[in-house]
Every structure is written in C-alpha cells, then in structure tokens.
Structure 1
Amino acid sequence: MAQASAVFLEQDQFNCSICLDVLKDPVTVPCGHSYCRVCLKGYWDQDDYLGIYGCPQCRQSFAPRPVLGRNTMLADVVDRLKKTGLGSPAVPAAPPAPLAEPTAAEPGDVACDVCTGRRNRACRSCLVCLASYCETHLKPHYESQAFQKHRLVPPARGLQDSLCPRHDKLLEVFCRTDQHCICYLCLTDEHKAHDTVLASLEMTEKKVTAVEDDSERICTKLIRSIERRHGELKELVRAEGRAALVQAEGLLERLEQQIEDHRRRESELEQLSQTEDHIHFLQVAAVHLLQSADCCEVTLDPNTANSYLSLSEGNRRVSTGHESQNYPDHPERFTSLAQVLGKEGLSGRSYWEVEWSGNGGITIGVAYKGIVRNSGGTDSKLGCNSKSWSLDLADGLCTFQHNKTKLEIPTPISPRIGVYLDHKTGTLAFYCVSPRGDTMTLLHRVQTTFSQPLYPGFWVGLGSTLKVCPIFNFTA
C-alpha cells in the first residue's frame, strides 16, 4: 500500500507534456526530457523546413535532428503502472486544507454553477469541467480519483472562453505567428508550420516583459511631465501673479489625475501578473500594448461625407438618414455611397476604436486618398477596389474584403471594433474589443505593402450609427 501511494504521488513525471497523458512508447531527447514517440515526431515535423529541432519544455535546440531511441527503462515503469493500476489508487489524496462553510454569493462574486435556488460563492474554478464550485460541491474534486488530473484555479468568469471554438478543446497553446491561443488540434492543420509555445510559458514571458516595459515607460513619462509642469508653474507664478495661481491649480489637478490614472494602470498590471488564467492575461496584455503607445485621434472629414450622412459630436459621430444634408459641392465627397473618410492620413503606427449600433450594418476600413468618389457602381465601396481594405459587419456576418475578394470570419458580431495600422511594416489588424475596453480578440490581420498614407474610412447603413471612441493615452 505504501508503494502504491508513492507512485501515485509522483505520477505526473510519467505524463507527456505535449498530450498531457501517460507516456506511450516513451523516447528521451538529449536534454533529458521524455515524450510519447508520436507526439514528439509530430512536434518536430513542423520544424523540418528549419533544420533546427527544440525541446518543447526547456526550448534547447538540436541540429541535426536527433535519432529517437526507445527509453526501455521508462517504458517498463509505465507498463507496470498501467498493469498494476497504480495510477488509480483506492485511497485518493485529501484536500490540502479543511474547507470552510459555504457562504451565499453576493453581487460581483463568482457563483457556484451546481447550486440550485440561492447559489453559494464559488471558491475554485475547474479548467477541465469549465465550471465553478462552492466548498460543498468542490469536495468530489479532492475525494474522487476521477478528478485527480483536473486543474483548479481561483474563481473565474468566462470559462467558456478557454475552449477552442472549432474543436471544443482547451486553449493550451499560444501561436506566436498569429498572436492568439489555440488548442492542440489546431497544431495539426492551419497552425502546423507556425511558431507555437505552451500558453503558460508565453504568459510567463509576457508578464515579465509587459511589467518591465510599462513600468519604465510610465516612470519616464511621469518624471518628464512633472518637470515640465513644475517649470510651467514657476513661469506662471512669476508672470501672472495671483491670476496665475488659479491656472496653476488647474494644471496640478490634471497632473494629479494623470498620476492617479497611471497608478491605476500599474495596479492593474500588478494584478494581471498574479493571474493564473493565461487566456485572460494575453487578451488584456494586448489591450495595454496597443492602447498605451499608438492611439490616434480620428476626426471625420465633412468634405468627404455623403449627403445622407449626418455628422455630430465634433465630427466623431455619424449616422445615415432619409433626408439629404445641405453640404456644399466638393470633389472629394462620396456621391453614391453612404461613406466618409477620416480627415488625417496615417503613415506611422496608429490604433483607433469605434462603437456602432443599429440594424443597417457598417463597414470599417482604410483607403488611399485616390479612392474613387463618384462611381455609380461598387467601385468606390470600401474593400471593392485595390485602394482600400475593409471589415464589413451586417446581417449577423463579419467579412473582410479587399479588391472585391471576400473572406468570411466566423465570429459573433461585436459592437466595438479596434483597428491597428503599422504603415511601415504593412500590417493592418482588426480586433473585437470587450464593452469595457479591457480585453480584445484578433478578428483578422493583413500583411502587405502600403505605398501611400491611409485614411480611416466608414460606410454606415440606413438605421445604423457609428462613433469614434476616445481612448486614454498619456503623452510625454
């Protein structure tokens, strides 16, 4: 019985870190880590074109490809483990500490998914069951061997977001090529030749990089801002006397607000660094990285607006109506389609967000200044020519379009969309942004070559309204 308990407590060392199951036909690589022969062969087959092969755990590289020899001693141990049934002991491990009495869930708490009637507050969430449990309903996870491999984390919302929408498997792998999480089945098809890593490892690396970079950037900007504001304050006091003090108080108040905002961001990053949910971390980290450095103010150009478009809120809100507006004639105005362009051309790195509502649908995109304005057909429509790229949201469908080539994107329609443009590298990406603006999901990314400045462009269907969202950005 003692022998059985000892093997059970260390069973994880007999699991393959690729398939997370007990080793089958185990092989050992030169660095000492062991895997199923089939799993490691499939993993290395992805890197054949590089000629360099790495260990999935420690990332040590080998060239040429090592010959995989069967680890007979390890295979012997695994066979005995299976035959004797030591992987399923009669006496499972006890919970790590006595569980407290369950308490009723309050507003804002994560509630138990098993409770009926008045639900108790959840104490843990299971990433395998994709459910949250109170102290009472969590006991089977500690008392039954059927749950011994389940992973428990602090109570979390949105557990369904941890599943692959195509395969209904856990998102345990991060694709560095496409910058989003995938499941292990995705590795066998569209992500086969991509640069991938375990999501937990990517989370650890990005935690360190994000916290270090953001802290350094915030501190530098705060110091510069304080020095500049201090100089402005001294100059105002000398030049304006008492009247300047009133203005100085306003400057100090704005500075205090900026400092408070950045303390809040530092606190959010600190909390983010403690999370065990790598899906949530990578989504939130993407928001901080895009919104912290590349935000731009997009203002709509009334000289390009179709006569049935109504602009308001400082030319940041647009809607389509039945009545024509009294706009003067202008050569840059769209005459046949309800479209409008941004006022400024973009040639660097830029990020902006829009919110929309209504049942007429919208189009969000970018275009060269030379896009046709007065075509009677669809040649001037965003995405229907070689001078524009667009994301269409209408009739429950999300479609990317360029030069009349369409690509349907299988995703729910979102009321808030983010657009990232890196003109120099030829990158254009569209994101689905959460209502609170704290997480984002990549919808589609284009890699091409841009030859001219690009203007944000929008088409607004009848009955729809679109608004450019203000995004907080601290500038030095």
Structure 2
Amino acid sequence: MASADLKDELTCSICLNLYSDPVTLKCGHNFCRECIESVLDTQKGSEAYSCPECRAEFLERPVLQRNTTLCKAPFTRPGPNIAEHFLSQEEHEDVFCTYCIHTPVVASKTCLMCEASLCDLHLTVHSKSPEHVLIQPTKSFRNRRCSHHNKVFTYYCTEDAECLCVSCCLGEKHRGHQVDLLNEACKQKKEKLQIVHGRLIKEREETKKKVQCLQNHLKHIPEKGASIVERVCVKLKDLKMKQDNLEKHVLNEISKQQEQVSLSVSNLIQQLEIKEDSLSRKLSSIEELCRIIDPVLYLQADRDDFANNMGVNDNLKEIKADDLVEDLIISTLNSGMVDIMSGLQKGYYVQEASGVLLDVNTASNDVHISDDLKTASSSNIKHCPKTDTKRFEESTILAIKGFSTGRVFWDIEGSKAGAWRVGMAYPSISRNGKQACIGNNNKSWGLRSFNKQYSIRHDEKEIKLLFQPICYKVRIYLDYAAGQLSFYELGNSMRHLYTYDATFTEALYPVIVVWDNGWVRVLN
C-alpha cells in the first residue's frame, strides 16, 4: 500500500506516468516539463494561464521551476532522480502473471498492447499478432506508450531518433521520414554499435600500445639523462683542465716576455749611465779649458783632448727600449682556445655526414637514381636487370658509405604524396624476400611516411607515431658508440620523432625505400 501511495505521489497527473524532468508551478503542483509545456501552449491566446490540477490562474505564462527535490538522487548520492529510482526498484522486483490469480506465477514476458504480464502457460495462448509487442517482464509501462495518442510504441523514426506509435507515423511531423519496426531498428542499431565497439576495442589496443611505448620511453629518460650528464661533466672537467693549462701557458708567456724586456731595458739603462759618466767628464774638461785666460796657454792645450771633447756621439738616436708584445700574447691565447674548441667538436659535437651518395649497384630495378646520386624515385620502368647479388629485389637502395664510429647525422626531404621509408641498415641485410624489407629484420631500422602518418619499424615490430608530417624533412642522427639511432623532423623547429636503442655490431649504411610514386632526396 505504501508503494502504491508513493507511486501516486510520483505520477504526473497529465500523462499518468512517473515524472520525467519534473517542474513546479507557483501553486506548488508538479508535472513533467514536456506535459505542462504542451498544456500551456494550448492556453496561449486566452485571457489567462491555469494549472491543470487546481485551476489556479496566472496572468502571464508561468515560469517553470525545476523541482530539485524530485530530481535529487535518494540518499543525496549521484544517480537517478527519486521517480527513476522508484521505477528501477519496482522493475527489479519479481513480476507475476496477470492471469494466475489463485497462485502467483512468475511471468516470462509482458505484452505492451495488453499491459499484462504472462507466464509460460498463458503465453502459449496469447495473440501472436505484431501489435502485441512482447518484452521482458516489467511492472512499469512508462515511456512504452505515446504520451499524445496513448498507444504502444511499435515504430522508430531514424531521422528524428524517436519511438512512434501507429498514429505518430500518420502525423505531419514524421511524414516522408524513414520509419522502421522497433525490433528491426533495434537490430540495426545494435549491429552498428557492434561495429563501433570493435573499432573502439582496436583503437583502445593501439592506444595502449602507444601508452606502453611512451612509458618505456619515459623509463629510459632518466638513464639517458644520467648518461648525458656524465658525458657533459667529463667534457666540462676536461674543458676546465684545458683552460687552466692555457691560463698557465699564457701567464708563463707573459712572465717570460716581462723578464726578457726587463733585462733588455736594464742593459740599456746601464749603457746610458756609462755614456752619461763619459759626457760628464768631457763637460768638466771643457769647463777647465774655458777657465784659461791666457790665449797662449789656451791654444797650447792638449789638442787630442780638445778634439775628443769636441766630438759628437749620435748613438742616443739609435737607442729604443723593447716592450711586451701584446699581439703575440693574444695570438697565443686565441690559438689555445681554438685548439680547445676543436677538441670539443671532435669529442662531443655531432658532425654532419658528408658525401652521402646512393649506390646504384644496390638499387632495385624499380628505383630511379638521379645523376648526382642524391635522389631516389619510385618508377614503373625497369631500369636494369637484377644480376648483381648486391642489388635489392624491390624498392630499396643503400648508400655508398657506411658509419661505424662517432656521431653523425644526415638530412633528407621526402615527397608529400606516395610512400617512402628512410633509416640505417647493415650491409649484410638480405636482398630478397620479406627479410629484405627495411624494418622486417634485426639488421635495419626505419621511419616510414605513408598516408600522412609516421611510423617506425624494426625486427617486424611497427609503431605508429602520434605526430603527423609537417614539412617532410627528416634528420637521421647516429651515435654509434652509445647505440642510438634517432629521427627528427626539421620544421620551423626540430621535433624529435623516435630514438632506437641498440648494440650495433656492423657498420650502418643509410638506406632509402620508395614506392607508390614516392621520392627521397639527400640534402647533405
């Protein structure tokens, strides 16, 4: 009884179903939003609006206030509103056969036309006509009937995505629309949903792989960072040591020059002091001659002494003191700094690989090579028969020169259309069959551009990258000793695409694969 009373309290007096989006008028009565709006629409143009329950009048169309109490989930938890909660509780209860009045028997089906539930026995004698739609047992017929015509939903409008009764199909609103039987529409939607479900599963698996790849990459970042820090610290320590040695060398050079110049200037001072004494003696002798008054005595003075006193020495004009040669010191400093930087470049900075040329003797006969040996293009013309064992069977060419030491990079530009792959490979890679394809073995590493998507491949494992090509210019960077092969896109700024970690056992040769009218040009 209490359940029935609660159901009455939660039932809209217009549609006689449980509230759907309940709203409240100023008089306090509750209705489904759609129901009361339909009633108010019919009252438009009249002198006043009125409540269908108590006939209270309003001069203006009343504002519909959402009933937060009825919309609130029970026990203040997120979920369905009170009416929906009551409905779900009601539907989870056992449903008994309507016609078994003496002994309750659990129903197996409910007929929407009859609004009756049937056990297996009564179901055998029930009408099998299409109008009698059978569903899983339920006590609630809410949303099972049309609120306008009070008829069972039997059709579905695919254009408006609405369930329809027979009368709705004949109405103006759905005239000319694609209308299917409910069961058929449900079947079609489930089939489409299964397709979407399968696609989402596949996309989820691909996403998981990408996440796993990024997580693995994330795990290696601290290790790589520590390795770089160690190398940088070693270089900085070496740089500091070389700077200290250069400082000592330059300071020693300055001290050496200072000592030499000081000795030279001291010798000059000594020579000048001797000359100064000689000049003083001559001055004294002249002064004594000048003090003789008697002309005879003056003229009879020692002529040699007189001649010596009258002589002029021009050595003063040739005396020039040495100075510190600052230009030589600066030259020594600059030369030492150049040597330090040159050593750093040889030991740490990456060198651009010079002279990356394509080896025509390895090119498959469906690849055209430019005269400068820098461009490989996919071609339908067979250029040369496959007689050389070094020649690839399909779409591939190696460079002439390989790398087995140091850090180098080489740049390429690929076609926007068509397909291509670039990377590095051992010269011992197979030239025929599936194993000749770059990335299908453990002897080659490649980056592919196809259908506006990047992917990397090695040892038959391919990973699609999150980045879409922007400029189709790529840098391939090799650190042979560290076992790293990296790919970067050269846009307005260099963007890292992927890095392989491996232990290289042979020299690595640049390799290019082109197909579907694709082409690749070496930019070095």
TM-score by length of 1: 0.37
Choose 1 or 2 for highest CA Rg.
Answer: 2
TM-score by length of 2: 0.34
Higher-RCO chain (CA-CA 8 Å, sequence separation at least 6): 1
Structure having the higher helix fraction is: 2
